[in-house]
Amino acid sequence: MGTAEIALDALRHEAAHCTACELYKSATQTVFGEGPPAAWLMLVGEQPGDKEDIAGRPFVGPAGRVLDTALERAGIDRGEVYITSAVKHFRFEQRGNRRLHKTPGVTHIRACRPWLDGELRAVRPAAVATLGAVAGKALLGPRFRITDARGKVLDWEGHQLVPTVHPSAILRGPPETRDEALDALVSDLRVVAGLRR
Ligand code: URA
């Protein structure tokens, strides 16, 4: 085992018992990042969804399928990427027997930040892509605006960082805009692919 793998394993075990905010009480489990410990690229999403909460793995639900398509079209193999989320417990509102996604708040993002920092320190990816406003704000601060920043390569704490949209935004948009929105995500991810080491 390399040092990055050892560090990630230790973090994953510790994070499994995280009680730093209240989300652990209603979520099934902590959904930690996964991927090669020495990945050149880290993707940072928002928080696990319903499917991820149950499976214990990031991006395995509908948003994950959009992400897989976009990565493939951009020439990035999911297997070469470390994928994680800014918040590692599912925040939701119960409506009957459905669990509806609820955007995590600043306190949840802050409470979870040490895990993300630990992942960044262990993996030391050359490139980071933030998916959506929550991930962008988590790393770049509250003034981050996705419309201004998406697709641009920013120098951020020793990494090259490209913000883009969250794949679930494509699913939430009107059906007639989906192709165009997916093309735009692919185009941002092609910028990311150009940073491959
Ligand atoms: N959205 C995220 O940001 N992360 C997941 O794991 C799933 C959906």
Q: Are 59 and 81 in contact (CB under 8 A)?
A: no
Domain of 169?
3-193
Tell me the pLDDT band of 66, cut-offs 50, 70 and 90.
very high
Task: Report how far apart, in Å, the C-alpha atoms of 149 and of each of 80, 100, 143, 181 are.
Answer: 25, 28, 11, 16
> For residues 181 and 9, what is the distance between their CA atoms, to the nearest angstrom?
36
| Cα–ligand 1 centroid distance for 4 (angstroms) | 23
Overall domain count for the chain: 1
The two structure tokens encoding residue 185: 């995500």
Q: Which atom of ligand 1 is nearest to the CA of 83?
A: 6
Condensed to tens digits (0 to 9), the pLDDT of residues 114-145 reads 999 999 999 999 999 999 999 999 999 999 99
CATH number of the domain that residue 93 is part of: 3.40.470.10
Ligand 1 pocket member 84 (CB < 6 A): no
> For residues 85 and 102, what is the distance between their CA atoms, to the nearest angstrom?
15
Ligand 1 pocket member 49 (CB < 6 A): yes
